[in-house]
């Protein structure tokens, strides 16, 4: 009699990765890449530079139509030294491949922007070192909220589009002296536009610290003159209930609570835990007893909150970015067309 119900696939040891030949990183190779990198390849490099690390599944969501085409292209980019990859350890099963920007990709970006590669602020050791970062799961999870929006926007007949996506690092360079959101986005659908900050709670942060951020968001609204909804994603319904209680108390203690519109959701509030566009967002304050709304309907939660983001996508900053390197504009979240390989 079979007494061990563990699936056989979970008993397999990790298969050793086959060695893949990679080219020498040289000036000749960089010149060769100029002819072989597509617009989509260059855009993907910018996305990796902006958002640090994306899984193979997330890259398929934002840039490809199928896994086979994505795997073939990512293998080529890896062999050319444009991207690097790693696979975190898992006791059972395996993670997807994680991708970061490699040296040849960083050089291509710097040359496109007309700056010396040293001015880009890129470090290969730092990017590869993300494989050991304690923030890796948080970064990938938060990125998943936005890549899911891009996947939705790329579907045939889709009504919505992600117009802006800023990473936590970019938010920190602009507003880090006050507060550093985990991301900033702007979603357009059905003639409406919703801009928002994201606080991605992984269940490891003390709720008192999460609630304490509301005072800093109030200060940010005063400095910039823009009131922006804060969307708080929590891992479970129970965690959401406790977080709402803590944040509601903090909100009541603010001088101008209307400056901090907050809505919450949990990974259990929709079929897809990371689908931000689904009707999953619930207003925080006491008047928010109605049902959950979709991302496009956020303006209905705060009827008096006007859309205040400039049309060009640039927002006033709390301070000049504290960086010695030139501030490169964020890439468009939507990929460029790839006429050379429309089926991929």
User: What is the pLDDT, as a whole number, of residue 1?
Assistant: 47
The predicted pLDDT at position 21 comes to: 64
* pLDDT for the residue 329: 81
Residues 6 or more apart in contact with residue 305 via CB below 8 angstroms: 227, 229, 261, 299
What pLDDT, on a 0 to 100 scale, did the predictor assign at position 289?
Answer: 52
**What is the number of other CB atoms lying within 10 angstroms of the CB of residue 52?**
21
What are the boundaries of each domain within the chain?
11-132, 136-301
Torsions phi, psi for 16 (to 5 deg): -65, 140
The token pair at 179 is: 């507060």
Per-residue pLDDT of the chain (344 residues; tens, 9 = 90+): 444 444 544 444 455 555 566 776 788 999 999 999 999 999 999 999 999 999 999 999 999 999 999 999 999 999 999 999 999 888 777 889 999 999 999 999 999 999 998 899 999 999 999 999 999 999 999 999 999 999 999 999 999 999 999 999 999 999 999 999 999 999 999 889 999 999 999 888 899 999 999 999 999 999 999 999 999 999 999 999 999 999 999 999 999 999 999 999 999 999 999 999 999 999 997 554 568 999 999 999 998 876 444 444 456 555 444 444 556 788 999 999 765 554 45
β partners of residue 194: 187
Q: What is the predicted pLDDT for the residue at 18?
A: 57
pLDDT for res 220: 97
Query: CA–CA separation, 261 vs 218, rounded Å?
Result: 9
Q: Which two structure tokens, joined as six digits, stand for 34? A: 């100029």
How many residues are given for the chain? 344
Q: What is the pLDDT of residue 305?
A: 79
- Residues 26-45: b if buried by 16+ CB within 10 A, e if exposed: eeeebeebeeebeebbbbbb
Between CA 199 and CA 129 the distance in angstroms is 24
The token pair that represents 322 in the structure block? 């504290």
Architecture of domain 11-132: Orthogonal Bundle (1.10)
């Amino acid at each position: 009699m079979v007494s061990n119900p563990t699936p056989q696939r979970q008993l397999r040891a990790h298969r050793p990765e086959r060695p893949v030949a990679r080219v020498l990183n040289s000036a000749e190779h960089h010149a060769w890449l100029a002819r072989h990198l597509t617009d989509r390849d260059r855009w993907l490099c910018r996305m990796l530079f902006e958002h640090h690390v994306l899984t193979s599944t997330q890259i398929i969501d934002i840039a490809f139509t199928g896994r086979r085409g994505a795997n073939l292209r990512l293998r080529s980019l890896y062999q050319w030294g444009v991207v690097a990859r790693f696979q975190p350890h898992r006791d059972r099963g395996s993670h997807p491949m994680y991708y970061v920007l490699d040296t040849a990709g960083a050089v291509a970006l710097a040359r496109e922007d007309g700056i010396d590669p040293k001015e880009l602020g890129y470090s290969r050791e730092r990017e590869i070192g993300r494989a050991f970062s304690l923030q890796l799961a948080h970064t990938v999870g938060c990125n998943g909220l936005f890549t899911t929006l891009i996947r939705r926007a790329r579907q045939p007949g889709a009504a919505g589009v992600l117009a802006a996506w800023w990473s936590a690092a970019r938010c920190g360079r602009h507003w880090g002296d006050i507060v550093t959101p985990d991301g900033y986005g702007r979603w357009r659908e059905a003639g409406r536009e919703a801009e928002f900050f994201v606080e991605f709670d992984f269940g490891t942060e003390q709720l008192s610290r999460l609630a304490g951020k509301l005072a800093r968001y109030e200060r940010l609204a005063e400095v910039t003159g823009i009131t922006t909804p804060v969307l708080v994603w929590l891992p479970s319904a129970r965690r959401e209930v406790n977080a709402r209680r803590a944040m509601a108390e903090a909100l009541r203690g603010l001088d101008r609570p209307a400056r901090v519109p907050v809505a919450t959701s949990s990974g259990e509030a929709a079929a897809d835990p990371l689908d931000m566009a689904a009707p999953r967002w619930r207003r925080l304050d006491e008047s928010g007893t109605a049902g959950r709304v979709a991302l496009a309907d956020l303006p209905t939660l705060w009827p008096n909150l006007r859309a205040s983001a400039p049309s060009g996508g640039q927002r006033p900053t709390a301070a000049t970015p504290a960086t010695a390197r030139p501030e490169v504009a964020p890439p468009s979240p939507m990929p460029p067309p790839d006429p050379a390989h429309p089926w991929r």
